[in-house]
Structures are given as C-alpha cells and as structure tokens.
Structure 1
Amino acid sequence: MVKYTDLPPEAAELIQRQYEVDRADAGPKAPVSSFRYRGVQIESRWAVMAELDTMRRVIDAMPELMARRLETIWCDSNAGACYTVTVRPSLYVPDLRGAIFDAVLVAGGGHNGIMIEADCGKGCHIDPDWGEPY
C-alpha cells in the first residue's frame, strides 16, 4: 500500500517548479515520448530528443539477432542516461547482457546504469560506466 503525505501548498509549488526546471534543462523535446524503431519500443520519460536518438543508435549498434530480442528500451530523463531494457518473453540469452552494454557505450559513450528485465528471472543490473579507466 502506498502511503500519501499531504504537503503544504508552498512545498507542493516548489516541488512542481523544480520538476519543470529539471524537465526544461533535459534538452530539446521530441513531438512524442515513444515510438517503435526496428521492432523495439523506445521511450524517453520527458520526450528528450537526444535520448530517443541515443536509443535508436543503441539498437543500430547491436547485432541484428540480439536487437530482435528486445521489447522495449526506456530512458529515465530524470536520472539521465539511465536505461531499462525489457527482453521479449523467452528470448533472453546470456550474451545479451554484453551486447546491450557494448551498444550503449558505442551509442552514447556511457550510461548511469542499465536494468535488464527478462521473464526468466535472469534480468540484471549493469553498474554505471562511462568508458573511463578505474
């Protein structure tokens, strides 16, 4: 059960204003927040054009047979370069993790985390990586 807390109107207004500033600062917006590209539904929380372009490049950077296994890629504009990838039912294979990781590095130069969701319980989380040596 979700617990709700009533906020004073002033606090609610400040939170709303911060949300609007964050959304505006995320960059130019596309006319839609999601669409299907090469069979994969891609979506940006705030319809950020650069995020949608990066997700298209992720799909293009993947081997064709790996990209076909994907159902959705979602970018959390609030977190920036943070992705959730959903695998089509029964199509997860162990090599998919590496294919997604490599494609995101090629397409976007790095990420703030990738969550891979698969119906077989083999989903995983990939820690942030911007291709820099440790």
Structure 2
Amino acid sequence: MIDDEKVPEFKLDEFVYGGTTISSRYNKFKEIRAMVKALDAVSNEVWRDSIISIWCDSKAEAIYTVECAGMDAHLGWIANALGNAFYEKVGGHNGLVVRGETAPEEWVAPAWKGDDLYYATQEKDS
C-alpha cells in the first residue's frame, strides 16, 4: 500500500532559491512554498544572504533546519527573524533550528497563530 503522505509532489530533491538550497523530506509543494515565503520575509539582506540551506522535515510537519554561513554572531537574530516570518507568512511552525559554522545552534520553539488565544483562555480559567 502506498502512503500518499510520502509521495513526492515534484521530482527535484532540492532547488536553489535566491542563493539558498531548499529541500524537504517528502518534496511537498506546500512546504517548499512556506520556506520561500519565509525567506522572502527576512528583510535584512545580509542575514538573508547568509542562509545557505533550509530543510523541512515532512515527517514531523513544519519543523525546519537552517544552515547559515559567516553569521555565527547573529544566529539568534536570524532564528527569530525566520520564526517570525513563518508565523506571519504561513501561520506558524513546529520549531526550527538554526546552525552556524562554530556557534551553538539556536532553537525557536513552536508557534502557531491562534495558540496565543488558547493559552490566554487557559490562564484566565485557572
């Protein structure tokens, strides 16, 4: 039996968009589109140009791994910019990790539009 969730929607293993290699585990169009939208939303050109690759783990859904070059001192800023971009442009993410060349990786916790309303209601009821 074929698992439709794992069937690629296009044939490329990866492609380059604005100098950044973009790929996903199962080559799903919505994941590729989300990564392109997030990259386009990073307004700082220097940070944007330092992002050499972004990968979506289709199996885990909306979890991203980002590799950067030459910007170890700014990984936290880049991670926050991308986290905000995914939140604003595609509704959120299940987490993302940003790796540099030598600096410790930066993790951005999952964030989805609407979650803040849920948690605010839970705190109010407590």
Say how many residue pairs are matched: 113
Equivalent of 2:52 in 66, 71, 93:
71
Matched, 1:129 2:111: yes
Structure of larger gyration radius:
1
Matched, 1:84 2:65: yes
Q: Could you tell me whether the CA contact under 8 Å between 1:27 and 1:49 is conserved in 2?
A: no
Residue-by-residue CA offset, 1:2-57 (whole Å, 9 max, x unaligned): xxxxxxxxxxxxxxx5xx42xx1368712213100000000011110111111111
Equivalent of 2:80 in 98, 105, 115:
98
TM-score by length of 2: 0.80
More helix by share: 2
- Structure 2 CA distance for aligned equivalents of residues 37 and 61 of structure 1: 13
Matched, 1:113 2:116: no
Q: Percent identity?
A: 28
Match of 1:8 in 2: none
Unaligned runs of 5+ residues in structure 2 are 120-126
Q: Could you tell me whether the CA contact under 8 Å between 1:85 and 1:117 is conserved in 2?
A: yes
- Structure 2 CA distance for aligned equivalents of residues 107 and 62 of structure 1: 11
- Structure 1 segments, 4+ long, off by >3 Å, are none
RMSD: 1.8
